[in-house]
Structure 1
């Protein structure tokens, strides 16, 4: 039976890793010329770095705020504290207890025991929240969504405020585009109906919760140790080079970002779009200078989601070729533009709602590249 010190050490060890790195998805890993550094830019502790085909996180410096996981366009950084599934479960039960209100609170304000913990969902920092959670609540009929902070202006990690505001603005603009009247609000204290009536009621529950949670963590840690040891003994595990090997179609491995899909599902559940276009950080559209394009296809090779792909369709006149573009699959990572050898491709954040919800991709007609002169014919005799 582990003693209290053992339990505390195990708990701290498990809590030291707040983010899982899905390195195969990181655009900086897929292509060293990728310009995306959003995770590095938002981290208040300079703990995350993506450069030279390497994505890394300093777990000693990481404070589990979740800001990097929110801005990553390819979901290469996956939050573990809490997991998306755990956060969804927590807010679902708290909405019922709060009479239909969805309230999120940062750990700082939660530690002051002003609110009833059964009526709100706690996150390490409000920077952990992203659009799929907020829009999902609105799509399920929640008409009050409130983010309660511990007065960000005096917080050590107040640099996250800009990111929190950006998430709120993004979520509200997407809901407005669907004609939804719900808006995400921010506050520095709990509303009256969330305030805790008797703080003493928390004492027994918190102590019982600590010890039961600690025992569970100790058990999980023992199981995890055996699992890791077993995996380390296995031979032939694929390397990163193997996992990023070209597919038969001539592209790097691709994937579907789950959060973006949940956002689209939520928007569809909110109704028919009332705006012709939206300016969003979640999706994108591309424009190609057709005269400058050499049809090299590098944009399709490196696109992580398959938003840009070579089409099997052929132009009726037989001249040139088609690319297929799907706005719903574009995560605005910018890797297509970074990989473009002719610098003739641009990614825009303004997206047509018709195109966003269109099941058919947009065809981009590329011209045949000019014939390259033979080497011998270019030599002067």
Structure 2
């Protein structure tokens, strides 16, 4: 009972934090995003003008908000960077929430609060194991009354892993009689006292530090964890492999593009880069940093951005999406993109000419 109390106390000290620079409400004033507000089971998230505010005292640290956030602007605080692999040596790994900590190998505040990218990282880390998710009590949970969010995240993670042609042995457990036989690890009194005297952020046994991450702030970072897991696969996966778009997105740029740089300005994660290189504009995109929020796709003034297929090596480098030739204006010598109208002066000089004749 004391161990269970201790773990619950650790979980209760965690809360969601919002990184405003990544929030879509700051980037898109026309269409407000309220997904985190609507999903929060304890109404701890409010909106003040364009800013999302989280009441730390009300937040229960379940993490569901960070699962639904389209731009990954939400994180969970207080996660340790350390990893304890002592319970990962056996074949069957049982994953559950804090309510089942006496029987779980890996625990989370709430299973519905695990992001699909973190699930994919976890499954890749444990790919040689038999992995079980204990959702027996999810239907009676006072946080979220079913495991639908978890199951959807598992589907997205599995689509990605399947595209890598990696087989994962995974199962959801809905009934107690289907639980695998659990060889419980006993804590000595000395070990338990050692846990109690440590700061909660440093405790590494049976809590969500098993996310296999290394965030500078010690917070849960889905993308870092998944990229690390992919890189640890090494040469086992062909870098030209087409990967499922469930977790990573890339885009093509069509001929409508006029190099306006709107995509670069609006992207929360700076995934678009537009560089002037001698007599051309080079437009690059990073699938590694893109969070698939679709803001660029929806708001591009020229409808120049289209969804494209993604290959594994796109996660290692920026990919050139288009190169646009530049010419010099015959009046001011500024470099600009020649359009189909045949006007051989830059837009600024063209407007000046029009004003003179009006």
Q: Structure 2 length normalisation: TM-score?
A: 0.69
Corresponding residue for residue 147 of structure 1: 133
Contact 1:178 1:267 in 2 (8 A): no
Gaps of at least 5 residues in structure 1 are 1-7, 221-256
Question: Could you list the per-position Cα deviations for residues 31-85 of structure 1 after superposition, in whole angstroms to 9, with x for gaps in the alignment?
Answer: 534655443343233433467431211334422211122343554322136x163
Is 1:302 paired with 2:266?
yes
Question: Could you list the per-position Cα deviations for residues 85-136 of structure 1 after superposition, in whole angstroms to 9, with x for gaps in the alignment?
Answer: 36xx25x23213xx133321112334xx5x2x5xx12212102323335434
Aligned residues: 310
Q: Tell me which protein shows more helix as a share of its residues.
A: 1
Equivalent of 1:95 in 88, 93, 102: 88
Equivalent of 2:251 in 274, 286, 289: 286
How far apart in 2 are the matches of 1:157 and 1:345? 42
Equivalent of 1:127 in 112, 129, 132: 112
Contact 2:266 2:295 in 1 (8 A): yes
- Helix, strand or coil at the partner of 2:277: coil
Question: Could you list the per-position Cα deviations for residues 137-174 of structure 1 after superposition, in whole angstroms to 9, with x for gaps in the alignment?
Answer: 53465322221124322323335633211221122122
Equivalent of 2:242 in 271, 276, 301: 276
Corresponding residue for residue 60 of structure 2: 63
Gaps of at least 5 residues in structure 2 are 203-219, 326-336, 340-345
Question: Could you list the per-position Cα deviations for residues 150-208 of structure 1 after superposition, in whole angstroms to 9, with x for gaps in the alignment?
Answer: 432232333563321122112212221111111432113473322659xxx78x969x9
Corresponding residue for residue 227 of structure 1: none
After superposition, the Cα gap between the structure-2 partners of 1:163 and 1:347, relative to the gap in structure 1 and judged at 3 Å, is farther
How far apart in 2 are the matches of 1:295 and 1:28? 25
How far apart in 2 are the matches of 1:267 and 1:13? 30
How far apart in 2 are the matches of 1:343 and 1:36? 23
After superposition, the Cα gap between the structure-2 partners of 1:196 and 1:327, relative to the gap in structure 1 and judged at 3 Å, is closer
Contact 2:94 2:134 in 1 (8 A): yes
Contact 2:282 2:324 in 1 (8 A): yes
Is 1:326 paired with 2:313?
no
Residue correspondence of structure 1 range 212-291 to structure 2 within 5 A = 213=196, 259-270=222-233, 271-273=236-238, 276-280=242-246, 282-291=247-256
Residue correspondence of structure 1 range 60-209 to structure 2 within 5 A = 60-72=57-69, 74-80=71-77, 83=79, 85=81, 89=83, 92-96=85-89, 99-110=90-101, 113=102, 115=103, 120-130=105-115, 131-132=117-118, 134-139=120-125, 141-158=127-144, 161-188=147-174, 189=176, 191-194=179-182, 209=192
- The RMSD of aligned alpha carbons is 4.0
- Helix, strand or coil at the partner of 2:244: strand
How far apart in 2 are the matches of 1:364 and 1:36? 30
How far apart in 2 are the matches of 1:176 and 1:69? 24
Contact 1:303 1:336 in 2 (8 A): yes
1:345 CA drift (Å)? 4.5
Contact 2:284 2:320 in 1 (8 A): yes
Corresponding residue for residue 377 of structure 1: 354
- Helix, strand or coil at the partner of 1:170: helix
Corresponding residue for residue 364 of structure 1: 322
Contact 2:22 2:268 in 1 (8 A): yes
Is 1:39 paired with 2:24?
no
After superposition, the Cα gap between the structure-2 partners of 1:50 and 1:136, relative to the gap in structure 1 and judged at 3 Å, is same
Q: Which runs of 4+ in 1 moved over 6 A?
A: 11-14
